Amino acid sequence: MSMRLICTVCLFGIFSMISPVFGQETNGDSGDEKVSYVRLFMHDGSTRMGELRSMNESEIRLKMPDLGEVLIPKYLVKGLIEMDGNTFARLSKSNMGRSLAINPQSSRYFFAPSGIQLKKGEGYFQSNIALNSVSLGINDNLTLGGLISFVGAGGTLKIGKSLAPNVHVSCGGIGFSDYYGGLERPIGLIFGNITWGTDDRNITINLGTGSKIETGIQATAYSMDTTGGAGYAQYTVTEYEQNYVRPLLLSVSGMTQIGENRWFITENYFINNYQYSTLVTGANLTYYYLPNSNFGNQNRNVVIVSMGVRNLSPRNGWLWDYGIVGVKTADFGFAAPWVSATLPF
């Protein structure tokens, strides 16, 4: 599949989701009185949906579409989530009867985070063999996690809240260190994002930047000693430019529910490797070659596009992500499959 075709399909998927996300209302009923819709998860694995009429320490009163007003003892209820009127109407029509949240993984796409937070006590384990991670909602506004792979390990932090109905923001970071000392110091990425939409249909814009990476030096003042004979010239560098690269990242991601247990996902990045230098004077470095990092010839921009499907197994609760990822730089491009498994808990 060509990069142009991948980009076209991903953009089509994003624009197809923009209209319903920005066009939806936050409440399906008109009038001055606020109507609250809820979905109850029962201990026996079933669900109940309806308009919340009242709730006290012992029971919940719901107005259900087919049964009218019913009283449900609280000891039968495992959990509760609120819904807007449009979500309630859509779920009522599709008769989604599984005993999980509307979308058990609305807090992330393939890898990129959304502004939607995990609830207190919610978490998940994700693995694609090469990288394994676990995340846990410490409270409704704070999520902590850990990463482990064949080459290193790290941690994640995400802080967020809902600004308005269907508008969520978060910020956080990822830190990573290798096992073998190949990195001079741990590297990290910080991000901030905003998400528009509901758990089952949303769009997120992420902005981020990463740790600066040294890319070599370029001598600007030096002396040469040839007393060792031809071929044994020695350079003493007294002044040089230390070159760095810092990645600047923009990502646009989206998901929409396309079946009872299935979501379409697209996750796309534009990465600019911002290059800069600092002048170091008073140095006394010895080389048998003249250091020149060839700074201007590095790939400055990287584009990554991806799309795929997330499937939920109703039997065991595992989610499987299948997708294709395309990477394009000024010099080369390639496509690769993406597969990961996630177990919410």
Q: From first to last of its 345 residues, what are the pLDDT tens digits of the chain?
A: 455 545 554 544 554 444 444 444 444 444 455 778 888 877 765 678 888 888 888 888 888 877 788 888 888 888 888 888 877 776 665 544 433 445 668 899 998 999 999 888 888 999 988 889 999 999 989 999 999 998 889 999 999 999 988 899 999 999 998 888 777 788 899 999 999 998 888 999 999 999 888 888 888 888 887 765 555 678 888 888 888 888 999 999 999 988 778 899 999 999 998 888 899 888 888 887 777 766 555 557 899 999 999 998 867 778 899 999 999 988 889 999 999 999 887
Q: How far apart are CA 324 and CA 308, in angstroms?
A: 6
**What single-letter amino acid sits at 40?**
L
Listed in sequence order, the residues at least 6 apart from 214 whose beta carbon sits closer than 8 Å to its beta carbon are 184, 242, 243, 244
For residue 26, the Cα-to-chain-centroid distance in whole angstroms is 25
SS3 115: coil
Contact by Cβ (8 Å): 318, 290: no
pLDDT of residue 40: 84
Element (H, E) at 86: helix 85-94
Q: How far apart are CA 36 and CA 233, in angstroms?
A: 81
Contact by Cβ (8 Å): 231, 207: no
Tokens of 209: 């930047």
Instruction: Kindly state which CATH superfamily the domain 3-28+84-344 is placed in.
Output: monomeric porin ompg (2.40.160.40)
End-to-end Cα distance, the chain: 36
Q: How far apart are CA 39 and CA 99, in angstroms?
A: 10
φ, ψ of residue 288 in degrees (nearest 5): -100, 10
DSSP letters, 24-62, are --S-S--SSS---EEEEEETTS-EEEEEEEEE-SSEEEE
Residue 294: which of 223, 247, 231, 245 has the closest Cα? Answer: 245
Q: How far apart are CA 296 and CA 342, in angstroms?
A: 41
Residue 310: which of 267, 278, 273 has the closest Cα? Answer: 267
Residue boundaries of the structural domains of the chain? 3-28+84-344
Q: How far apart are CA 265 and CA 203, in angstroms?
A: 10
DSSP letters, 153-206, are EEEEEEEEEEEETTEEEEEEEEEEEESSS-SSS-EEEEEEEEEEEETTEEEEEE
Contact by Cβ (8 Å): 20, 198: no
Cβ neighbourhood burial of 5 (10 Å; 0-12, 13-18, 19+): exposed
Residue 316: which of 104, 139, 21 has the closest Cα? Answer: 104
Residue 111: which of 211, 193, 168 has the closest Cα? Answer: 193
